Amino acid sequence: FSFYTLYGHLNLAALKNLSVNQTIKKGTPFAAFGIPSENGYWPPHLHFQIIFDMENYEGDFPGVCQFSKKDQWLAQCPDPDIILQLNQYVTT
C-alpha cells in the first residue's frame, strides 16, 4: 500500500531542497507557508492532499474538481484527516 501527498501553497525557496520520493523524518521541518505573491495571492495556508494514484500528473495535481466528479475524486483523494487527525479539535 502506498500513497502520495501534496503540500500546496508553500514558499518557493523550500522547493529547492525537496525532491520527488524524498523521505522526510517525522517532526522535521521541511517548508514554510508561501507569501501571497508566490501562492496565488491567498492568505498563508497549507493545502494538504493524499493521492492514491498520480495518474499522468507530475509536479502538481488537481486540488479541486467539478461537483459532478466528486465521488470519483474522493475515491482517489481520501480525507486527509486520516493522517492529520485535526477533526478532533473542531468545535461547532
pTM: 0.81
Q: List strand residue ranges (DSSP E) for the chain, in order.
A: 4-8, 47-51
Side-chain half-sphere of 12: how many Cα atoms within 13 Å? 6
- Is 8 in a helix, a strand, or coil? strand
CB 47 within 8 A of CB 63: yes
Q: Which amino acid, 89?
A: Y
pLDDT at 20: 82
Side-chain half-sphere of 15: how many Cα atoms within 13 Å? 13
pLDDT digits (tens, 9 = 90+) for 2-49: 899 998 898 999 889 888 888 889 899 999 999 999 888 989 999 999
pLDDT digits (tens, 9 = 90+) for 73-87: 999 999 999 999 999
C-alpha cell at 31: 517548508
